[in-house]
Structure 1
């Protein structure tokens, strides 16, 4: 049975996007290529209340591609897959095509 994690409060579960090390034709790409630290949002928490009692929902949704900080997040392993748990405030932005 596969486990599913629903983050608490303003937390976001992200699966990091790993850039390919080979092209489709089999050419190896050098490791020193600049990589973008990005990920795909897998699950989001409901949000949290501020000091005045106002509910603030998370501003991201499942499926969003986000820019992640270089450091931070908590590594979570569910089954064979690795994910990272971030606070909503730690996400640097969303990426669009």
Structure 2
């Protein structure tokens, strides 16, 4: 719940990546090096947005709780209460999953 005390600024989005699968469906344990990078995450906090040239507020395009697709590289690692989160700009997020 440490992310509740952290509010991203402008168009930044704080996400928590999904954990990589460490066991296959057949029950084989995978070593950490072969698991690969997880590109899916859950949004845990969003900033208010940015202001346009004429002064209007442009809100962030994702909401807290949505599942999103992240780029393979980028983002800033943020550690809150010994848990890793990542900070991305709204424009860097590739898409969101619709239920």
For normalisation by structure 1, the TM-score amounts to 0.83
SS in 2 for 1:77: strand
How many angstroms apart in 2 are the aligned matches of 1:83 and 1:35? Answer: 14
- Per-residue CA deviations over 1:48-91 (Å, capped at 9, x if unaligned) read 10112121011111111100011111100001100000000000
User: Counterparts in 2 of 1:51-66, with a 5 A limit?
Assistant: 51-66=53-68
Gaps of 5+ in 2: none
Gaps of 5+ in 1: none
Cα RMSD for the two superposed structures: 2.4
Shift of 1:95: 1.6
For normalisation by structure 2, the TM-score amounts to 0.82
How many angstroms apart in 2 are the aligned matches of 1:36 and 1:15? Answer: 11
How many angstroms apart in 2 are the aligned matches of 1:11 and 1:80? Answer: 21
| Partner residue, 1:28 | 29
| Partner residue, 1:48 | 50
1:74 has 2:76 as partner: yes
CA contact (8 A) 2:19 2:38 kept: no
SS in 2 for 1:43: strand
How many angstroms apart in 2 are the aligned matches of 1:95 and 1:35? Answer: 18
| Partner residue, 1:8 | 9
